[in-house]
Structure 1
Amino acid sequence: MCLSAVAVVGIMLSTNTCGRGGEQRDVVRLGFAAPLEQYIGAETLRGAQLALERVNADGGVRGRTLELVAVTDSANPERAVRVAESFYTDESVLAVIGHVNSGATLAAATIYNRGLAAVSPTATSPEVSEAGPWIFRVCSSDAANSARLARFALRELGSRAAILYANEPYGRGLRQGFALTFAERGGTLLEEYPYIEGQTTDFEPYLLGIREARPDLIFIAGLDVSAGPIIRQARELGITVPFLGGDGILGLAGQDPVYDGTYVGLLYHPDAPGTTGQVFVAAYRRAYGAEPDHFPALGYDAVLLAARAVSEVGFDRERIRDYLEGVGGRREAFPGVSGLIAFDQNGDPLEKSFAIGRITGDRIELVSIEGGS
């Protein structure tokens, strides 16, 4: 697929100096911030690119070509702030798609709340609900997702759980909600260990303690970059119980047979009730020869929603934010491929479908629907 309309860069390269409210534009420009060198960022960008192509094939936005300026934040909060500053000071950028990691989103929010709307595809931490009036997300919060994962674990996997969690906003939020619901519903929490995402590489000391505790399952609250070594090292130590994780470990699918059988939370599945978008699924298959997961689906939705906002209210940043705030309230809900999007007072989508899948080779087999509209 040609990415000619997307500038994938490490710094902001736009030189457009049109005023923030100016109407004389040849293009409509959206920022895109994600760890482009990681699965989560690359896949979300794929979906964003498909949305961009759809918008432009339909005539663009107010007759102008839609462009994305994609900048890597490497899932690093400090770099995310610099990326946000580059978007904010470039007045040609009307809104931002991103960030995709919770820690990066929370850090960058301090800049966006000066006056640039950001729509995150996948920042699920409960803390994002309080990130500020210019921050929106099209994914459900882990305040709900973690409880759904805990209910599934108790029903299907067992009542004794060990937890490994990344000591950052996403991991802590997912771990907290899972542990609370699991215990409230009669489960027993055994060993719990924090780790540093992308830096901790030797999990054997934790896994030896977990093996001795003999849990029914191990819950990973973190990303695939650490979940992969955790699962591999556990199997090498003879630990055979199932693993369950949130949406952050989805990238394990198709990477190594040792991950087969791992259960993962899904923010979107094409077979889940309340989802639509066979046009999107077909476009993704044509472009990439694979089935889309929730990262491209939510990136697709975020771009189409932002484009709709500009189409409806024009090129003023504050009016774009006000439009987004009213989606599902003063204005009709947005029919995304991941489900109907209607924002509450915190910029969170109201009840959306959430599913549990099981990694089988390069596929995610749909196992269960856990709530949602």
Structure 2
Amino acid sequence: MKKIALLLASLGSLAAVQPAAAQTVVKIGFAGPLTGPIAHIGKDEEYATRMALDDANAKGVVINGQKVRFELMSEDDQADPRQATIVAQRIADAGAKGVVGHVTSGAAIPAAMIYEQAGIPAITPSATNPKLTQQGYKTAYRVIANDFQQGEAMAKYAATVLKAKTIAIVDDRTAYGQGLGDTLAENLKKFGVQVVAREYTNDKAVDFTALLTRIKSKQPDAIFYGGMDAQGAPMLKQIKQLGLNVKFLSGDGVCTSEMLKLAAEALSPNVYCTQAGIPAEKMPGGTEFKTRFKKTFNVDVQLYAPYAYDSANMLIEAMKLANSVEPAKYLPQLQKVTLKGVTGTVAFDTKGDNKNGGITLNQFGNGKWQVLN
């Protein structure tokens, strides 16, 4: 009996020093503006990506017989096209197996070529310019609706509900802002609405007095701005200062909680915005997500955090379906994944767009964005 006891004790000692089960570390890249005037948008999506990876790690994901631990690699592209390609190459060189991003269209479009060359899938939660998925790249995907849908929705509302006959369009010359302005202008033709002015600014400007003065002489019924809240807020304030009695229309770049803070007293029921996607309150998991997001990061969801969360999970689900974390093996599975996500059902078409992207119209009222549809 003593010999048996000694043998069992020896086996126990050997087990104690055996290494833990093999674990595969999988790096997932995130790219977006983490500094600068729209850093709040970038951090919003970065936090959500981190949450998705943490959730997957907590549940325990086993792929090809090995437990996987996901690690986030965050890079700041500053919403700058040139910086975006540098960041994309850095992510590729680091051996990332997938990417959530980029946040803006101006960054996502040039970065897409880098990911295509590296064979790494990149899913954007928020880059809405249609060109992103029209380049023919097999690695470019989008979970959000695109600008064609936004432009059509805003044009229809402006013409049929607001009864606008004339509109002035201003954009910030980014791929996002200009793309949104172009699609709106194209769709306005269908409804017989005249574009009486087409003005341009940039995504660093804060003084719009000169271009607004030119627009004032045209006496439009509405002004549409294609760009982000960092410029939309001061523009709206200057519209009020110049006494322009117009409807102010914009896209999802100003449909943020930050816009409510930045524009403050300049906001009124004459302010409208479209949002690619649907509000969190109408998402299957939106309300719970917002609560958990606030508890985890001590900040409110800005805009597209739920879409970033689903983007990360689409990558993970494709890996599980392929039983591989290698991009070459799981990339084809992205076309087959159907995810019941926070935002709803996510599934990609042959171009890489979400088959179920939606558009929401919002109007300012009672201190917040109120959903119109």
User: What is the TM-score normalised by the length of structure 1?
Assistant: 0.84
Q: Distance in 1 between matches of 2:366 and 2:332?
A: 44
Matched, 1:297 2:298: no
Closer, same or farther in 2 for the Cα pair 1:201/1:291, shift >3 Å?
closer
Query: 5+ unaligned residues in a row in structure 2: which ranges?
Result: 1-21
Q: Distance in 1 between matches of 2:251 and 2:284?
A: 19
Deviation at 1:278, TM superposition (A): 3.8
Deviations 1:5-33 (A, max 9, x none): xxxxxxxxxxxxxxxxxxx7542210000
Indicate the SS of the match to 1:350.
coil
Which residue, out of 173, 176, 186, partners 1:170?
A: 176
Q: Distance in 2 between matches of 1:347 and 1:133?
A: 8
What residue number does 1:40 align with? Answer: 41
Q: Are the equivalent residues in 2 in contact too, given 1:159–1:216 (CA < 8 A)? A: yes
Letter in 2 for 1:253: L
The equivalences for 1:278-289 within 5 A come to: 278-287=287-296
What residue number does 1:339 align with? Answer: 344
Q: Distance in 1 between matches of 2:346 and 2:239?
A: 39
Which residue, out of 50, 61, 78, partners 1:74?
A: 78
Letter in 1 for 2:181: R
Give % identity: 27
Mean CA deviation greater in 280-289 or 47-56: 280-289
Q: Distance in 1 between matches of 2:170 and 2:62?
A: 45
CA RMSD after TM alignment: 2.1
Letter in 1 for 2:42: G
Which residue, out of 298, 303, 307, partners 2:316?
A: 307
The equivalences for 1:82-121 within 5 A come to: 82-91=86-95, 93-114=96-117, 115-121=119-125
Matched, 1:255 2:262: yes
Q: Are the equivalent residues in 1 in contact too, given 2:32–2:77 (CA < 8 A)? A: yes
What residue number does 1:161 align with? Answer: 167
Mean CA deviation greater in 182-191 or 75-84: 182-191
Letter in 2 for 1:264: C
Q: Are the equivalent residues in 2 in contact too, given 1:257–1:361 (CA < 8 A)? A: no
Letter in 1 for 2:88: A
Deviation at 1:65, TM superposition (A): 2.1
Q: Are the equivalent residues in 2 in contact too, given 1:254–1:362 (CA < 8 A)? A: no
Name the count of aligned residue pairs: 338
The equivalences for 1:175-186 within 5 A come to: 175-186=181-192
Deviations 1:192-245 (A, max 9, x none): 1011221x3321111112222222211111112221221111111112322111
Query: 5+ unaligned residues in a row in structure 1: which ranges?
Result: 1-23, 328-332, 369-373
Q: Are the equivalent residues in 2 in contact too, given 1:33–1:70 (CA < 8 A)? A: yes
Deviations 1:87-108 (A, max 9, x none): 11222x1001111111111111
Deviation at 1:326, TM superposition (A): 2.9
Q: Are the equivalent residues in 1 in contact too, given 2:73–2:91 (CA < 8 A)? A: no
Letter in 2 for 1:118: A
Deviations 1:257-304 (A, max 9, x none): 1352332222230234x6444432331243356653531111111111
Letter in 2 for 1:202: D
Letter in 1 for 2:314: L
Indicate the SS of the match to 1:283.
helix
Larger radius of gyration: 2
Closer, same or farther in 2 for the Cα pair 1:290/1:25, shift >3 Å?
closer
Closer, same or farther in 2 for the Cα pair 1:64/1:241, shift >3 Å?
same
Q: Are the equivalent residues in 2 in contact too, given 1:203–1:233 (CA < 8 A)? A: yes
What residue number does 1:330 align with? Answer: none
Q: Distance in 2 between matches of 1:359 and 1:116?
A: 40
Matched, 1:191 2:191: no
Q: Distance in 1 between matches of 2:303 and 2:272?
A: 15
Letter in 2 for 1:73: D
Q: Are the equivalent residues in 2 in contact too, given 1:28–1:66 (CA < 8 A)? A: yes
Q: Distance in 2 between matches of 1:139 and 1:275?
A: 16
Q: Are the equivalent residues in 1 in contact too, given 2:141–2:353 (CA < 8 A)? A: yes
The equivalences for 1:118-267 within 5 A come to: 118-131=122-135, 132-157=137-162, 158-198=164-204, 200-251=205-256, 252-261=259-268, 262-266=271-275, 267=277
Q: Are the equivalent residues in 1 in contact too, given 2:240–2:266 (CA < 8 A)? A: no
Q: Distance in 2 between matches of 1:271 and 1:280?
A: 10
Closer, same or farther in 2 for the Cα pair 1:292/1:232, shift >3 Å?
same
User: What is the TM-score normalised by the length of structure 2?
Assistant: 0.84
**Structure 1 segments (4+ residues) deviating >6 Å:** none
Indicate the SS of the match to 1:271.
helix
Q: Are the equivalent residues in 2 in contact too, given 1:150–1:181 (CA < 8 A)? A: yes
Matched, 1:65 2:69: yes
Deviations 1:63-120 (A, max 9, x none): 32222111100011111111111111222x1001111111111111111111111111
Deviation at 1:187, TM superposition (A): 1.2
Q: Are the equivalent residues in 1 in contact too, given 2:30–2:75 (CA < 8 A)? A: yes
